[in-house]
Structure 1
Amino acid sequence: MSNQIKRGVSLYSYQNETFQGKMTLEDCIRTSAELGANGIEIIGEQTFWGWPEVGVEDAAVANWHELIKKYDCVPVSHDFMLDYKRYKGRVMPFDEQVASVKKDIDFGARLGMKFIRALVSIEPEVLVAAAPYAEEKGIKILIEVHAPLHFDHPWIIRHAEAFEKSGSDALGFLPDMGMFLFKFPPVWKEKFLRIGVPKNIADYIEKAYEDRVLSEYVILNVREMGGEGPALGMAETLRHNAAFEPKRMLEHMSRIHNIHGKFYQMDEDYVEPSIPYDEIVKVLHQGGYKGFICSEYEGNRWIEDAEEPDSVEQVRRQQVMLARLLGEETVPTLKTPVAA
């Protein structure tokens, strides 16, 4: 299979090990590189201490570039967090929002990134205003299309229309594969069972999700079944997740430049049981996608009450799955164990 899709990792995947001091930045980059996933995506706050409240020292940026070169990797994206609605107890004025985005453009450029990821809450007018500056810096601003939003959601349509009207090719999309959640993730169900959801209610919610029952009806039915607390919390997850169609990416493929390979668990057979990656990869090939799929492990938060997450093993398994789906002959293998 002729393949132009590349494999990468969002270092967000290693958040538990990073926070606990089990993995350094070098460990994260080396581990990804050993798996053949040489595209490196970061969240600035996780990777660089003090960002964005204080500046990042030149020495830290120099170390980043040295590690990228040492392990033959490619800087892909800096994921920034303009959370303007909670800014010092007030809404950040428009001009300050644009200035904040420009600050992240500058930081992305310092790191050699091609893209910066914008949260889906940011208004398109802010990104359009920052686009000329991004063009000057050789950066594309990609708004993340993340569940419960999708490509047919009015908010995303508004962005698409604004991007086209702007005429700028510095504006695009970063789809998160979590919006293609075709089955209720087993690790979610197991967590809800541990915190007290009756099995009959958990089974009902799982089946209702597969049957695409409207979330409001599921919540009502759970109430009538006597569900409360955790049971209603489990039912509420249906409001924020859905099985949207991967083929809807095709209409926007010219502006899709990076992919978040969201996953909640990889089983021993290298399958993500809730997200149809085989179908996703077929659609990306059909659309001529040439960018990275960056692993984004978020199953840790669903199991850490019961066991220590092994993010590295989970990422390894997803990279094996992706390599197979992309028609690669070499099996991703770790050579250097991560110190506990």
Structure 2
Amino acid sequence: MRWGILGAAKFAREWMAPAIHAAKGAELVAIATSDPAKAAGFSAFAPGMRVFDDYDALLADPDIDAVYVPLPNHLHVDWTIKALEAGKHVLCEKPIALKADEIDRVIAARDKAGKLAAEAFMIVHHPQFQRARELVQDGAIGKLAHVDAVFSYNNAGAVDNIRNRPETGGGGLPDIGVYTFGAARFVTGADCQRVTYADLRFENGVDVFAQVAADFGDFTYGAVVSMRMQPRQSITFHGDAGHLTLTAPFNANLYDVAQLTLETGNGVRQVERWPAANHYVLQVEAFGAAARGTADYACPLEFSRGTQAMMDMVFDKARNP
């Protein structure tokens, strides 16, 4: 599969371009950026890569099969739809939209084009999450009672960062809340029924701290998400017969080694680690397999819509406590 990238984002240069280069069956062949100097950083992964100075020109290239969209959040929906209309498969950075009903437009465009479009929710492709899902749904911790998650970092000094700017769809919840919400949904296979508590704190029009409580029907949920706290991340699934914790769930093997700890009755403790797994590479390979029709995709747009619907509930609850 021949890939093009819309925009020379730092994240794309550091993570997704190398992942496309490393993935089996994938090749990075083009990038579109108005600044040719920014394209130079990608040449290490694709020496013969074509550089376009216009996004539409890249989409018009018949030699490109798939497009990765790492643009600011407020541009995701429109450029994903444009890429689908140009006949490309599309992997778009999260959040793919800022409201759940916006994803309906993308689903309609996907179905009309007959191409694969998905949110780049890479964690579900990591073996630690696939193992956690298997254990929880097979009853390894008994009846699930509660899920708690935390994801934080501090970018208070980066005033020009798109995550700190309301006009680009910034905020902690759109940036990393999607992980704390989506991870719980993926592992349990359940959807949020209602948000019972939402304390959001804002700076310059973007949320920088969120404490959330929710009801998933058969279990409760709690999370803290912040762009103003010391980096920390974990997620725990707590049942009546045990609990399971991922200690580096969202930045596996960067924040810490990917590790799953399962504790059950009588002090039995089971630890599994995946020090070499790269969820970005696995995501590209899974996307390629799904586009070829040889495998199902772990994070279809319908799944992403469910996560965004929970996000919408959180903002609504904060406005109407």
Higher relative contact order (CA 8 A, sep 6+): 1
Give the TM-score, by structure 1 length. Answer: 0.29
Give the TM-score, by structure 2 length. Answer: 0.31
More helix by share: 1
More strand by share: 2
